[in-house]
Structure 1
Amino acid sequence: MTGRTAIVTGAARGIGAATARRLAADGHAVAVLDLLEDQAQATAAAIAADGGRSLAIGVDVADEAAVAAAADRVAAELGAPTILVNNAGILRDNLLFKMSAADWDAVMGVHLRGAFLMSRAAQAHMVEAKWGRIVNLSSTSALGNRGQANYAAAKAGMQGLTKTLAFELGRFGVTANAVAPGFIETEMTRATAERVGVPFEDFLAAAAKETPVGRVGRPEDIAAAVAFFCSEEAGFVSGQVLYVAGGPKA
Protein backbone atom coordinates (compact mmCIF):
# COMPACT_ATOMS: atom_id res chain seq x y z
CA MET A 1 0.00 0.00 0.00
CA THR A 2 1.18 3.50 -0.76
CA GLY A 3 1.96 5.38 2.43
CA ARG A 4 -0.27 8.43 2.90
CA THR A 5 -0.87 10.96 5.63
CA ALA A 6 -3.98 10.31 7.70
CA ILE A 7 -5.88 12.37 10.25
CA VAL A 8 -7.95 10.57 12.87
CA THR A 9 -10.09 12.69 15.18
CA GLY A 10 -11.07 11.59 18.66
CA ALA A 11 -8.01 9.33 18.52
CA ALA A 12 -6.85 9.51 22.14
CA ARG A 13 -8.59 6.27 23.09
CA GLY A 14 -11.15 3.67 22.07
CA ILE A 15 -12.13 3.35 18.42
CA GLY A 16 -10.09 6.38 17.39
CA ALA A 17 -6.88 5.12 19.00
CA ALA A 18 -7.33 1.65 17.51
CA THR A 19 -7.94 3.20 14.09
CA ALA A 20 -4.87 5.41 14.34
CA ARG A 21 -2.73 2.42 15.25
CA ARG A 22 -4.20 0.32 12.43
CA LEU A 23 -3.60 3.00 9.80
CA ALA A 24 -0.03 3.41 11.06
CA ALA A 25 0.47 -0.35 10.81
CA ASP A 26 -0.77 -0.10 7.21
CA GLY A 27 2.11 2.27 6.49
CA HIS A 28 0.51 5.68 6.85
CA ALA A 29 1.75 8.66 8.84
CA VAL A 30 -1.00 9.45 11.31
CA ALA A 31 -2.04 12.70 12.97
CA VAL A 32 -3.77 11.92 16.26
CA LEU A 33 -6.28 14.69 17.00
CA ASP A 34 -8.21 14.91 20.24
CA LEU A 35 -9.40 17.43 22.79
CA LEU A 36 -7.48 15.32 25.36
CA GLU A 37 -4.00 16.23 24.14
CA ASP A 38 -2.13 14.28 26.82
CA GLN A 39 -3.93 11.06 25.88
CA ALA A 40 -3.44 11.83 22.19
CA GLN A 41 0.29 12.06 22.93
CA ALA A 42 0.12 8.55 24.41
CA THR A 43 -1.46 7.18 21.24
CA ALA A 44 1.13 8.92 19.08
CA ALA A 45 3.93 7.60 21.29
CA ALA A 46 2.61 4.05 20.92
CA ILE A 47 2.65 4.44 17.14
CA ALA A 48 6.19 5.79 17.23
CA ALA A 49 7.29 2.91 19.47
CA ASP A 50 6.08 0.52 16.78
CA GLY A 51 8.14 2.33 14.16
CA GLY A 52 5.46 4.58 12.71
CA ARG A 53 5.29 8.32 12.10
CA SER A 54 2.75 10.20 14.18
CA LEU A 55 1.85 13.62 15.50
CA ALA A 56 -0.50 14.46 18.37
CA ILE A 57 -2.51 17.66 18.27
CA GLY A 58 -4.95 18.91 20.88
CA VAL A 59 -7.91 20.40 19.06
CA ASP A 60 -11.60 21.10 19.50
CA VAL A 61 -13.01 19.92 16.17
CA ALA A 62 -15.99 22.27 16.55
CA ASP A 63 -13.63 25.28 16.54
CA GLU A 64 -13.21 26.53 12.97
CA ALA A 65 -9.89 28.31 13.52
CA ALA A 66 -8.43 25.42 15.51
CA VAL A 67 -9.35 22.92 12.79
CA ALA A 68 -7.73 25.05 10.07
CA ALA A 69 -4.58 25.44 12.16
CA ALA A 70 -4.43 21.71 12.87
CA ALA A 71 -4.79 20.80 9.19
CA ASP A 72 -2.02 23.22 8.29
CA ARG A 73 0.24 21.77 10.95
CA VAL A 74 -0.36 18.22 9.76
CA ALA A 75 0.47 19.21 6.19
CA ALA A 76 3.66 20.96 7.30
CA GLU A 77 4.93 18.25 9.66
CA LEU A 78 3.64 14.96 8.22
CA GLY A 79 2.61 15.81 4.66
CA ALA A 80 -0.64 16.72 2.97
CA PRO A 81 -3.47 14.72 4.58
CA THR A 82 -5.33 12.59 2.06
CA ILE A 83 -7.02 10.26 4.56
CA LEU A 84 -9.50 11.61 7.11
CA VAL A 85 -11.37 9.62 9.73
CA ASN A 86 -14.04 11.70 11.49
CA ASN A 87 -14.38 9.79 14.73
CA ALA A 88 -14.61 12.52 17.39
CA GLY A 89 -17.78 12.28 19.40
CA ILE A 90 -19.39 12.80 22.79
CA LEU A 91 -22.46 11.59 24.62
CA ARG A 92 -25.03 13.75 26.39
CA ASP A 93 -27.77 11.14 26.76
CA ASN A 94 -31.16 11.90 28.23
CA LEU A 95 -34.84 11.46 27.52
CA LEU A 96 -36.26 14.21 25.34
CA PHE A 97 -38.14 16.01 28.13
CA LYS A 98 -34.95 16.13 30.22
CA MET A 99 -32.53 17.01 27.42
CA SER A 100 -31.25 20.58 27.47
CA ALA A 101 -30.53 22.70 24.43
CA ALA A 102 -26.89 22.71 25.55
CA ASP A 103 -26.86 18.89 25.45
CA TRP A 104 -28.25 18.98 21.93
CA ASP A 105 -25.85 21.65 20.70
CA ALA A 106 -22.77 20.01 22.23
CA VAL A 107 -23.41 16.68 20.49
CA MET A 108 -24.24 18.32 17.16
CA GLY A 109 -21.18 20.52 17.44
CA VAL A 110 -18.65 17.75 17.94
CA HIS A 111 -20.17 15.17 15.59
CA LEU A 112 -21.61 17.15 12.69
CA ARG A 113 -19.92 20.55 12.82
CA GLY A 114 -16.62 18.82 13.59
CA ALA A 115 -16.94 16.41 10.66
CA PHE A 116 -17.93 19.26 8.36
CA LEU A 117 -15.01 21.47 9.38
CA MET A 118 -12.46 18.66 9.21
CA SER A 119 -13.75 17.44 5.83
CA ARG A 120 -13.70 20.94 4.39
CA ALA A 121 -10.13 21.48 5.58
CA ALA A 122 -8.83 18.11 4.37
CA GLN A 123 -10.58 17.99 1.00
CA ALA A 124 -8.39 20.77 -0.40
CA HIS A 125 -5.35 18.53 -0.02
CA MET A 126 -7.22 15.54 -1.44
CA VAL A 127 -8.46 17.42 -4.49
CA GLU A 128 -4.95 18.67 -5.18
CA ALA A 129 -3.58 15.13 -4.88
CA LYS A 130 -6.48 13.74 -6.96
CA TRP A 131 -6.80 11.01 -4.32
CA GLY A 132 -8.54 10.92 -0.99
CA ARG A 133 -10.44 8.87 1.55
CA ILE A 134 -12.95 10.21 4.05
CA VAL A 135 -14.48 7.83 6.59
CA ASN A 136 -17.14 9.07 8.98
CA LEU A 137 -18.14 7.23 12.13
CA SER A 138 -21.88 6.78 12.38
CA SER A 139 -23.62 4.31 14.71
CA THR A 140 -26.47 1.86 14.93
CA SER A 141 -28.06 4.62 17.02
CA ALA A 142 -28.70 6.38 13.71
CA LEU A 143 -31.66 4.01 13.44
CA GLY A 144 -33.08 5.49 16.64
CA ASN A 145 -32.32 4.82 20.30
CA ARG A 146 -34.18 5.69 23.47
CA GLY A 147 -32.55 8.51 25.40
CA GLN A 148 -30.33 9.57 22.51
CA ALA A 149 -32.32 12.03 20.42
CA ASN A 150 -29.22 14.20 19.97
CA TYR A 151 -26.75 11.37 19.35
CA ALA A 152 -29.11 9.48 17.02
CA ALA A 153 -29.80 12.61 14.99
CA ALA A 154 -26.08 13.39 14.77
CA LYS A 155 -25.18 9.87 13.68
CA ALA A 156 -27.95 9.84 11.07
CA GLY A 157 -26.64 13.19 9.91
CA MET A 158 -23.19 11.68 9.47
CA GLN A 159 -24.68 9.30 6.93
CA GLY A 160 -26.26 12.12 4.96
CA LEU A 161 -23.00 14.07 5.06
CA THR A 162 -21.11 11.00 3.85
CA LYS A 163 -23.33 10.47 0.83
CA THR A 164 -23.18 14.15 -0.11
CA LEU A 165 -19.38 14.20 0.12
CA ALA A 166 -19.32 11.13 -2.13
CA PHE A 167 -21.34 13.00 -4.76
CA GLU A 168 -19.33 16.20 -4.57
CA LEU A 169 -15.81 14.80 -4.32
CA GLY A 170 -15.95 11.64 -6.39
CA ARG A 171 -14.78 13.29 -9.61
CA PHE A 172 -11.60 14.34 -7.83
CA GLY A 173 -10.66 10.78 -6.89
CA VAL A 174 -11.99 11.14 -3.35
CA THR A 175 -14.28 8.56 -1.76
CA ALA A 176 -16.46 9.03 1.32
CA ASN A 177 -17.92 6.19 3.35
CA ALA A 178 -19.30 5.63 6.83
CA VAL A 179 -18.87 2.90 9.41
CA ALA A 180 -21.73 2.41 11.86
CA PRO A 181 -20.61 0.45 14.92
CA GLY A 182 -22.91 -1.52 17.15
CA PHE A 183 -22.05 -2.07 20.81
CA ILE A 184 -18.29 -1.64 21.23
CA GLU A 185 -16.41 -2.12 24.50
CA THR A 186 -14.86 1.31 25.10
CA GLU A 187 -14.50 3.91 27.84
CA MET A 188 -17.62 5.55 26.43
CA THR A 189 -19.77 2.46 26.93
CA ARG A 190 -18.20 1.95 30.36
CA ALA A 191 -19.31 5.48 31.26
CA THR A 192 -22.82 4.67 30.03
CA ALA A 193 -22.94 1.62 32.31
CA GLU A 194 -21.85 3.74 35.25
CA ARG A 195 -24.48 6.36 34.44
CA VAL A 196 -27.30 3.82 34.47
CA GLY A 197 -25.91 2.07 37.55
CA VAL A 198 -25.11 -1.32 35.98
CA PRO A 199 -21.79 -3.14 36.57
CA PHE A 200 -19.81 -3.00 33.33
CA GLU A 201 -19.42 -6.78 33.05
CA ASP A 202 -23.19 -7.20 33.34
CA PHE A 203 -23.64 -4.42 30.77
CA LEU A 204 -21.32 -6.24 28.35
CA ALA A 205 -23.01 -9.60 28.96
CA ALA A 206 -26.45 -8.15 28.23
CA ALA A 207 -25.21 -6.55 25.02
CA ALA A 208 -23.51 -9.78 23.91
CA LYS A 209 -26.72 -11.72 24.48
CA GLU A 210 -28.53 -9.40 22.05
CA THR A 211 -25.82 -9.69 19.38
CA PRO A 212 -26.10 -12.56 16.84
CA VAL A 213 -22.38 -13.37 16.90
CA GLY A 214 -22.56 -13.71 20.68
CA ARG A 215 -20.05 -11.08 21.73
CA VAL A 216 -19.65 -7.33 21.89
CA GLY A 217 -17.42 -5.48 19.47
CA ARG A 218 -13.86 -4.35 20.03
CA PRO A 219 -12.29 -1.12 18.78
CA GLU A 220 -10.10 -3.21 16.47
CA ASP A 221 -13.23 -4.53 14.72
CA ILE A 222 -14.11 -1.00 13.70
CA ALA A 223 -10.53 -0.10 12.83
CA ALA A 224 -10.42 -3.00 10.36
CA ALA A 225 -13.52 -1.73 8.56
CA VAL A 226 -12.16 1.81 8.45
CA ALA A 227 -8.85 0.53 7.09
CA PHE A 228 -10.63 -1.12 4.17
CA PHE A 229 -12.40 2.10 3.20
CA CYS A 230 -9.04 3.90 3.39
CA SER A 231 -7.28 1.40 1.14
CA GLU A 232 -6.27 1.67 -2.49
CA GLU A 233 -8.56 -1.28 -3.25
CA ALA A 234 -11.65 0.59 -2.04
CA GLY A 235 -11.47 3.20 -4.78
CA PHE A 236 -14.75 2.07 -6.37
CA VAL A 237 -16.64 2.06 -3.05
CA SER A 238 -18.15 5.40 -2.10
CA GLY A 239 -21.23 6.76 -0.36
CA GLN A 240 -21.74 3.53 1.58
CA VAL A 241 -22.69 2.89 5.19
CA LEU A 242 -21.26 -0.31 6.68
CA TYR A 243 -22.90 -1.53 9.88
CA VAL A 244 -20.28 -3.33 11.99
CA ALA A 245 -22.56 -4.64 14.69
CA GLY A 246 -22.23 -8.43 14.89
CA GLY A 247 -25.47 -8.94 13.01
CA PRO A 248 -27.87 -7.37 10.51
CA LYS A 249 -28.87 -3.76 10.99
CA ALA A 250 -30.52 -1.06 8.85
Structure 2
Amino acid sequence: MTCEALRGASALVTGADTGLGAAVAANLLQAGVRLATHVNDPAALAAQATFAEFSFAAQATDEQAVINGLHQVNQAFGTLNILVTCHSQPCIGDLLNQPYTAFWEHLDQQLTGNYLFAREAAPLLKSADWGRVVLLCSAWAVGAPGLAAVASAAAGTQVLCKTLSRELGPHGTTVNALAHAFTESEWLACDARALSLGEAQLRSQIGQRVPTGRLGQPEQIAHSVRLLCQPVIGAAVAQTLQCNGGFFRHRT
Protein backbone atom coordinates (compact mmCIF):
# COMPACT_ATOMS: atom_id res chain seq x y z
CA MET A 1 0.00 0.00 0.00
CA THR A 2 1.44 3.36 -0.96
CA CYS A 3 2.49 5.65 1.84
CA GLU A 4 2.90 8.78 -0.28
CA ALA A 5 -0.79 9.73 -0.13
CA LEU A 6 -0.56 10.16 3.65
CA ARG A 7 2.90 11.69 3.86
CA GLY A 8 2.77 14.97 5.73
CA ALA A 9 -0.82 14.48 6.93
CA SER A 10 -1.47 15.08 10.63
CA ALA A 11 -2.91 12.26 12.72
CA LEU A 12 -4.02 11.58 16.28
CA VAL A 13 -4.20 7.98 17.51
CA THR A 14 -5.89 7.43 20.86
CA GLY A 15 -4.92 4.53 23.09
CA ALA A 16 -1.43 4.23 21.65
CA ASP A 17 -0.50 2.33 24.81
CA THR A 18 -2.79 -0.56 23.83
CA GLY A 19 -1.76 -3.40 21.52
CA LEU A 20 -3.93 -2.31 18.60
CA GLY A 21 -3.32 1.39 19.20
CA ALA A 22 0.45 0.89 19.16
CA ALA A 23 0.22 -1.01 15.87
CA VAL A 24 -1.94 1.69 14.28
CA ALA A 25 0.39 4.46 15.46
CA ALA A 26 3.46 2.63 14.11
CA ASN A 27 1.76 1.99 10.77
CA LEU A 28 0.70 5.59 10.26
CA LEU A 29 4.14 6.77 11.29
CA GLN A 30 5.60 4.48 8.62
CA ALA A 31 3.27 6.17 6.14
CA GLY A 32 4.93 9.49 6.89
CA VAL A 33 2.23 11.22 8.91
CA ARG A 34 2.87 13.83 11.56
CA LEU A 35 1.83 11.79 14.55
CA ALA A 36 0.25 12.77 17.85
CA THR A 37 -0.74 10.09 20.32
CA HIS A 38 -2.99 9.77 23.34
CA VAL A 39 -2.34 7.22 26.09
CA ASN A 40 -4.56 6.01 28.90
CA ASP A 41 -1.66 5.55 31.33
CA PRO A 42 0.63 8.54 32.03
CA ALA A 43 3.48 6.07 32.62
CA ALA A 44 3.41 5.30 28.88
CA LEU A 45 4.21 8.88 27.86
CA ALA A 46 7.98 8.41 27.96
CA ALA A 47 7.84 5.65 25.35
CA GLN A 48 5.67 7.77 23.04
CA ALA A 49 8.27 10.53 22.99
CA THR A 50 10.60 8.32 20.93
CA PHE A 51 8.39 8.44 17.81
CA ALA A 52 5.39 10.77 18.19
CA GLU A 53 5.73 14.53 17.71
CA PHE A 54 3.34 15.10 20.58
CA SER A 55 1.67 12.88 23.20
CA PHE A 56 -0.73 13.40 26.06
CA ALA A 57 -2.30 11.24 28.74
CA ALA A 58 -5.97 11.40 29.67
CA GLN A 59 -8.84 9.28 30.80
CA ALA A 60 -11.12 9.10 27.75
CA THR A 61 -14.08 10.06 29.93
CA ASP A 62 -12.39 13.14 31.40
CA GLU A 63 -13.89 15.94 29.31
CA GLN A 64 -11.48 18.65 30.40
CA ALA A 65 -8.43 16.42 29.92
CA VAL A 66 -9.55 15.57 26.37
CA ILE A 67 -10.22 19.26 25.65
CA ASN A 68 -6.75 20.15 26.93
CA GLY A 69 -5.15 17.38 24.88
CA LEU A 70 -6.78 18.45 21.63
CA HIS A 71 -5.86 22.06 22.38
CA GLN A 72 -2.24 20.97 22.52
CA VAL A 73 -2.67 19.01 19.28
CA ASN A 74 -3.98 22.22 17.74
CA GLN A 75 -0.94 24.10 18.97
CA ALA A 76 1.38 21.43 17.58
CA PHE A 77 -0.28 20.91 14.17
CA GLY A 78 -2.80 23.71 13.64
CA THR A 79 -5.06 21.24 11.83
CA LEU A 80 -5.83 17.53 11.76
CA ASN A 81 -6.43 15.07 8.93
CA ILE A 82 -6.81 11.76 10.76
CA LEU A 83 -8.35 10.62 14.04
CA VAL A 84 -8.21 6.94 15.01
CA THR A 85 -9.69 5.84 18.35
CA CYS A 86 -8.18 2.73 19.94
CA HIS A 87 -8.34 3.62 23.63
CA SER A 88 -11.03 1.17 24.78
CA GLN A 89 -10.16 -2.06 26.56
CA PRO A 90 -12.26 -5.26 26.87
CA CYS A 91 -14.71 -5.89 29.68
CA ILE A 92 -15.94 -9.42 30.40
CA GLY A 93 -18.58 -10.37 32.93
CA ASP A 94 -21.54 -12.69 33.32
CA LEU A 95 -24.91 -11.01 33.53
CA LEU A 96 -25.57 -12.10 37.12
CA ASN A 97 -22.08 -11.34 38.40
CA GLN A 98 -20.99 -8.16 36.65
CA PRO A 99 -21.63 -4.96 38.63
CA TYR A 100 -23.59 -2.43 36.63
CA THR A 101 -20.81 0.05 37.39
CA ALA A 102 -18.37 -2.10 35.37
CA PHE A 103 -20.90 -2.30 32.53
CA TRP A 104 -21.28 1.46 32.36
CA GLU A 105 -17.59 2.12 32.87
CA HIS A 106 -16.83 0.23 29.65
CA LEU A 107 -19.60 1.95 27.68
CA ASP A 108 -18.46 5.29 29.03
CA GLN A 109 -14.84 4.62 28.14
CA GLN A 110 -15.65 3.70 24.55
CA LEU A 111 -18.72 5.73 23.63
CA THR A 112 -18.12 8.85 25.70
CA GLY A 113 -14.44 8.72 24.77
CA ASN A 114 -15.19 8.41 21.06
CA TYR A 115 -17.69 11.24 21.29
CA LEU A 116 -15.34 13.57 23.19
CA PHE A 117 -12.34 12.92 20.94
CA ALA A 118 -14.46 13.38 17.80
CA ARG A 119 -16.12 16.52 19.14
CA GLU A 120 -12.87 18.20 20.11
CA ALA A 121 -11.14 17.09 16.89
CA ALA A 122 -14.01 18.31 14.70
CA PRO A 123 -12.82 21.93 14.32
CA LEU A 124 -9.32 20.75 13.39
CA LEU A 125 -10.71 18.22 10.91
CA LYS A 126 -12.98 20.83 9.36
CA SER A 127 -10.07 23.20 8.87
CA ALA A 128 -8.14 20.61 6.83
CA ASP A 129 -8.58 19.99 3.11
CA TRP A 130 -9.71 16.45 3.90
CA GLY A 131 -10.23 14.28 6.96
CA ARG A 132 -10.66 10.68 8.05
CA VAL A 133 -12.03 9.30 11.32
CA VAL A 134 -11.78 5.57 12.15
CA LEU A 135 -13.44 4.23 15.30
CA LEU A 136 -12.22 0.81 16.43
CA CYS A 137 -14.62 -1.52 18.20
CA SER A 138 -15.20 -5.20 18.86
CA ALA A 139 -16.93 -7.30 16.20
CA TRP A 140 -19.11 -8.76 18.98
CA ALA A 141 -21.84 -6.17 18.44
CA VAL A 142 -23.82 -9.27 17.45
CA GLY A 143 -23.90 -10.18 21.15
CA ALA A 144 -22.42 -13.06 23.12
CA PRO A 145 -22.54 -14.49 26.66
CA GLY A 146 -20.38 -12.53 29.05
CA LEU A 147 -19.96 -9.62 26.61
CA ALA A 148 -22.95 -7.42 27.42
CA ALA A 149 -20.79 -4.32 27.87
CA VAL A 150 -18.53 -5.05 24.89
CA ALA A 151 -21.46 -5.79 22.56
CA SER A 152 -23.39 -2.71 23.65
CA ALA A 153 -20.40 -0.41 23.27
CA ALA A 154 -19.52 -1.88 19.87
CA ALA A 155 -23.05 -1.47 18.55
CA GLY A 156 -23.17 2.05 19.93
CA THR A 157 -19.87 2.90 18.26
CA GLN A 158 -21.14 1.73 14.89
CA VAL A 159 -24.26 3.90 15.22
CA LEU A 160 -22.20 6.84 16.45
CA CYS A 161 -20.09 6.39 13.33
CA LYS A 162 -23.17 6.88 11.15
CA THR A 163 -24.18 10.03 13.02
CA LEU A 164 -20.70 11.56 12.97
CA SER A 165 -20.61 10.91 9.23
CA ARG A 166 -23.65 13.16 8.81
CA GLU A 167 -22.04 15.86 10.94
CA LEU A 168 -18.56 15.81 9.43
CA GLY A 169 -19.23 14.59 5.88
CA PRO A 170 -20.23 18.01 4.51
CA HIS A 171 -16.85 19.32 5.67
CA GLY A 172 -14.81 16.73 3.77
CA THR A 173 -14.27 14.28 6.62
CA THR A 174 -15.41 10.67 6.29
CA VAL A 175 -16.13 8.53 9.34
CA ASN A 176 -15.97 4.74 9.41
CA ALA A 177 -15.72 2.04 12.05
CA LEU A 178 -13.50 -1.04 12.14
CA ALA A 179 -14.86 -4.06 14.00
CA HIS A 180 -12.15 -6.54 15.00
CA ALA A 181 -12.15 -10.05 16.45
CA PHE A 182 -9.91 -13.11 16.51
CA THR A 183 -6.83 -10.91 16.58
CA GLU A 184 -3.75 -11.49 18.70
CA SER A 185 -4.43 -8.73 21.20
CA GLU A 186 -6.03 -7.98 24.55
CA TRP A 187 -9.39 -8.50 22.86
CA LEU A 188 -8.82 -12.20 22.22
CA ALA A 189 -10.25 -12.76 25.68
CA CYS A 190 -13.63 -11.65 24.34
CA ASP A 191 -13.54 -14.16 21.51
CA ALA A 192 -12.65 -16.95 23.91
CA ARG A 193 -15.42 -16.00 26.34
CA ALA A 194 -18.01 -15.77 23.57
CA LEU A 195 -17.19 -19.34 22.51
CA SER A 196 -16.94 -20.65 26.10
CA LEU A 197 -13.27 -21.45 25.62
CA GLY A 198 -10.01 -20.54 27.27
CA GLU A 199 -7.59 -18.48 25.20
CA ALA A 200 -5.21 -21.45 24.87
CA GLN A 201 -8.10 -23.62 23.62
CA LEU A 202 -9.12 -20.97 21.13
CA ARG A 203 -5.59 -20.74 19.76
CA SER A 204 -5.42 -24.50 19.34
CA GLN A 205 -8.80 -24.58 17.57
CA ILE A 206 -8.44 -21.48 15.45
CA GLY A 207 -8.13 -23.50 12.26
CA GLN A 208 -11.64 -24.83 12.89
CA ARG A 209 -13.11 -21.46 13.77
CA VAL A 210 -12.16 -19.00 11.03
CA PRO A 211 -11.65 -19.51 7.28
CA THR A 212 -8.15 -18.07 7.36
CA GLY A 213 -7.11 -20.75 9.85
CA ARG A 214 -5.06 -18.32 11.89
CA LEU A 215 -5.41 -15.41 14.25
CA GLY A 216 -5.17 -11.93 12.80
CA GLN A 217 -2.25 -9.75 13.83
CA PRO A 218 -2.38 -6.17 15.13
CA GLU A 219 -0.35 -5.12 12.11
CA GLN A 220 -3.12 -6.39 9.83
CA ILE A 221 -5.68 -4.30 11.69
CA ALA A 222 -3.34 -1.33 11.35
CA HIS A 223 -3.06 -1.83 7.58
CA SER A 224 -6.85 -1.89 7.35
CA VAL A 225 -7.02 1.36 9.32
CA ARG A 226 -4.50 2.91 6.95
CA LEU A 227 -6.66 1.86 4.01
CA LEU A 228 -9.65 3.69 5.50
CA CYS A 229 -7.45 6.75 6.03
CA GLN A 230 -6.43 7.08 2.39
CA PRO A 231 -7.61 10.34 0.78
CA VAL A 232 -8.82 8.41 -2.29
CA ILE A 233 -11.22 6.31 -0.19
CA GLY A 234 -13.83 9.03 -0.19
CA ALA A 235 -16.92 6.99 -1.07
CA ALA A 236 -16.63 4.70 1.97
CA VAL A 237 -18.70 6.60 4.49
CA ALA A 238 -20.48 5.44 7.69
CA GLN A 239 -19.39 1.84 7.03
CA THR A 240 -18.13 -0.81 9.45
CA LEU A 241 -15.18 -2.76 8.08
CA GLN A 242 -15.25 -6.29 9.53
CA CYS A 243 -11.79 -7.66 10.35
CA ASN A 244 -12.46 -11.02 12.00
CA GLY A 245 -10.95 -13.65 9.72
CA GLY A 246 -14.38 -14.44 8.26
CA PHE A 247 -15.95 -15.82 11.44
CA PHE A 248 -19.00 -13.53 11.24
CA ARG A 249 -19.70 -14.21 7.58
CA HIS A 250 -23.24 -15.48 8.33
CA ARG A 251 -23.99 -13.30 11.31
CA THR A 252 -23.84 -9.64 10.25
Q: TM-score normalized by structure 1?
A: 0.89
Q: 1:128 to 1:13 in 2, by over 3 A?
A: same
Q: CA deviation at 1:208?
A: 4.3
**Counterparts of 1:51-200 in structure 2 under 5 Å?**
53-189=52-188, 200=199
Q: In the alignment, which residue of structure 2 is the partner of 1:39?
A: 44
1-structure distance, mates of 2:60, 2:40: 8
- Select which of 11, 16, 24 maps to 1:19: 24
Matched residue, 2:231 = 232
1:9 partnered with 2:9: no
TM-fit CA distance, 1:193: 6.9
- Tell me, in whole angstroms, the C-alpha distance in 1 between the residues paired with 2:127 and 2:114: 20
RMSD, aligned CA? 2.3
Do the aligned residues in 1 keep the contact of 2:14 with 2:21 (CA within 8 Å)?
yes
Q: Give the gaps of 5 or more residues in structure 2.
A: none
Contact 1:12–1:41 (CA under 8 A) maintained in structure 2:
no
- Distance in 1 (CA, whole Å) between partners of 2:176 and 2:221 is 13
User: Does the 8 Å contact 1:32/1:44 carry over to 2?
Assistant: no
- Find the residue that maps to 1:134 and give its secondary structure: strand
The 10-residue stretch of structure 1 (123-132 or 98-107) with the greater mean CA deviation from structure 2:
123-132
* Structure 2: distance between partners of 1:185 and 1:30: 24
- Residue 203 (structure 2) pairs with residue 204 (structure 1): yes
Contact 1:41–1:56 under 8 Å retained in 2: no
Q: Give the share of equivalent positions with the same residue, in percent.
A: 32
1:54 and 1:199 map into 2 onto residues whose CA distance is 40
Paired AA for residue 27 in structure 2: R
Q: Per the alignment, do residues 127 and 216 of structure 1 end up closer, same or farther by CA in structure 2, a change over 3 Å counting?
A: same
- Between 203-212 and 172-181, the greater mean CA deviation after superposition: 203-212
Report the secondary structure of 1:81's partner residue.
coil
Q: 1:30 aligned to 26, 32, 35, which one? A: 35
Tell me if structure 1 keeps the 8 A contact 2:80–2:128: no
Task: Report how far residue 201 of structure 1 moved.
Answer: 4.0
Moved more, 143-152 or 85-94: 85-94
Structure 1: give runs of 5+ residues left out of the alignment. Answer: none
Deviates more, 1:179-188 or 1:154-163: 179-188
Quick one: distance in 1 between partners of 2:25 and 2:68? 20
Shift of 1:4: 1.4
- SS of equivalent residue, structure 2 residue 12: strand
Deviation at 1:190, TM superposition (A): 6.1
By how many angstroms is 1:191 displaced?
Answer: 9.5
| CA displacement 1:45-101 (0-9 Å, x = unmatched) | 2xx3xxxx5322111111100000000111212442221111111223111121211
Q: Hey, what's the Cα distance between the residues in 2 that align with 1:95 and 1:186?
A: 21
Whether the aligned pair in 2 keeps the contact of 1:142 and 1:152 (CA below 8 Å) is yes
Of Structure 1 and Structure 2, which has the larger fraction of its residues in helix?
Answer: 1
User: Is the partner of 2:36 in helix, strand or coil?
Assistant: strand
Q: Contact 2:158–2:240 at 8 Å: present in 1 too?
A: yes
SS in 2 for 1:108: helix
- Give the letter aligned to residue 40 of structure 2: L
Aligned counterparts of 2:213 and 2:151: Cα–Cα separation in 1: 24
Corresponding residue number in structure 2 for 1:221:
220
How far apart, in 1, do the equivalents of 2:221 and 2:182 lie?
Answer: 11
Change (3 A) 1:124 1:173: same
Q: Are 1:82 and 1:122, in contact at CA under 8 Å, matched by a contact in 2?
A: no
Instruction: Letter of the 2:36 partner, please give it.
Output: A
Q: Which amino acid aligns with 1:21?
A: A
